Amino acid sequence: MRVLKFGGTSVGSAQRMKEVVELISDQHRKIVVLSAMAGTTNSLVEITNYLYKQDHDGATELIIQLEKKYENEVAALYKTNEYKKKGLQLIHSHFEYIKSFTKDMFTVFEEKAILAQGELISTAMFHYYLLENGKNSVLLPALDYMRINKNNEPDNAYVKENLNQILESYPETGIFITQGYICRNAFGEIDNLQRGGSDYSASLIGVACGAEEIQIWTDIDGMHNNDPRYVEGTHSIKELSFDEAAELAYFGAKILHPTSVLPAKLANVPVRLLNTLEPEAEGTLICSHQEKHRIAAIAAKDGITAIKIKSGRMLLAYGFLRKVFEIFESYKTPIDMITTSEVGVSVTIDDDCHLKEIVDDLKKFGTVDVDRDQVIVCVVGDLVAENNGYANKIFDAVKEIPIRMISYGGSNFNVSLLINATDKKVALNLLSQKLFN
């Protein structure tokens, strides 16, 4: 079995959907995981924002706009009247459902139900297209097998058991279509794996069904050696280890959802990043092999807040760090970077929902400084201590830029620097020039 995930751009129009069919028409048995059509989830988020504000007219206007877009896509996708009609019925039933939320109270439950519509529509439209073209396929509802637990972590045992049970009931089927991103939570309600989470779905599905390979098809030819949105002349990397890919995804390489590499790594399922717009390009293979003596890539994670706690007796007082970490834990706030000195500790977070409470609690231990609008720039590669010289190159590249924190040694694969958001673009470009030219 193979798992092929196609992102929003790859299914972003009727024409793109038709091109995807070409890519899934070989003889391999496969599960095709689809995102919502590009822009749809953003529009659905906007609609839910109106509904939270009880602005029903604003919401309705957006819903009608989006429905129109889908009517046009349906007209362009199917050739027969039979399927044009079926397609419209499909769209209208989803949009009637979305409109029903403009009449009642609106909570997070309704929000999640609306956000799920993008993937439900794209997969159903695509499935109809396959049927219209005589391709035998089965639509697997993700809500029947994809589930997270009370800690919002995937319930892997449940996913494995339920997915395989469904697959076994279709021994003759070669193509399964399913939704990325959406799932049920521990209470059986509709939920999701966070924005960009279709990659995570693909990885969880690949592991659950024992896939030989997980393919992530997107709008670029694999993982580039720097962020192509900020740096010109980046190029795709042929091969990355799971550890390198995980660091890059976590530290901002948007091509992969931050948590999508770990399940594949644990199960040792290779992940291939491929380009729908250029299917013959080699892309990037992510596997257990670690290429030696090279810097692979640079990424940056935005929206970071740095917190410094200065205490007279930090290192002498054992248990100090535990108490600091417990405060973050009690607010379910993950820490990204940490550095220590004799008189204090600095940490960074990207989820600042509970920043005020965290700072209030930390004040028990000393003075607390907060810096917002920071960015973590992360250099990833074979950076074991014996490969001396790389640190020097990295710091030389950014010598003109004020650095707030430095982290190295947490793994053998990354050096991270905390800088001001305003310096990000310059830092990424300087690092590219120094490390890759």
Q: Give the pair of three-digit tokens for residue 302.
A: 């935005």
Find the binder of ligand ASP among 9, 10, 35, 260 (CB under 6 A).
35
The answer to whether residue 118 forms part of the interface with ligand ASP (CB under 6 A) is yes
Residue pair 342/366 in contact by the 8 Å Cβ criterion = no
Give the β-pairing of 284-287 and 239-241.
Answer: parallel
Site for Mg ion in 194-253 (CB under 5 A): 196
Find the binder of ligand ADP among 58, 228, 279, 303 (CB under 6 A).
228
Gap between the Cα atoms of 184 and 90, Å rounded: 22
36 binds, among ligand ASP, Mg ion, ligand ADP, none (CB under 5 to 8 A by kind): ligand ASP
Strand, helix or coil at 115? helix
Shortest Cβ 392–ligand ASP spacing (Å): 39
Residue pair 376/383 in contact by the 8 Å Cβ criterion = no
Evaluate the CA torsion angle 174, 200, 132, 99 in order and state its sign: positive
Q: With respect to ligand ADP, which residue has the nearer C-beta, 9 or 348?
A: 9
**What does each C-alpha distance from 10 to 137, 181, 220, 394 come to in angstroms?**
19, 15, 10, 36
Shortest Cβ 369–ligand ASP spacing (Å): 34
The answer to whether residue 258 forms part of the interface with ligand ASP (CB under 6 A) is no
Q: With respect to ligand ASP, which residue has the nearer C-beta, 33 or 394?
A: 33
Please spell the DSSP secondary structure of 26-73, one letter per residue: SSS-EEEEE-PPTTHHHHHHHHHHHHHTT-HHHHHHHHHHHHHHHHHH
Site map for ligand ASP, 191-230, x if CB under 6 A?
A: ----xxxx--------------------------------
Q: What are phi and psi of 166, to 5 degrees?
A: -65, -45
Q: With respect to ligand ADP, which residue has the nearer C-beta, 258 or 344?
A: 258
Find the binder of ligand ADP among 8, 197, 258, 344 (CB under 6 A).
8
Q: With respect to ligand ADP, which residue has the nearer C-beta, 30 or 224?
A: 224
Site map for ligand ADP, 235-264, x if CB under 6 A?
A: ------------------xxx---------
118 binds, among ligand ASP, ligand ADP, Mg ion, none (CB under 5 to 8 A by kind): ligand ASP
Name 241's bridge partners: 287
| Other Cβ atoms within 10 Å of 285 Cβ, number | 19
The answer to whether residue 34 forms part of the interface with ligand ADP (CB under 6 A) is no
Shortest Cβ 197–ligand ASP spacing (Å): 5
| Other Cβ atoms within 10 Å of 231 Cβ, number | 19
Contact footprint for ligand ASP (CB under 6 A): 7-8, 35-36, 41, 118, 180-181, 195-198
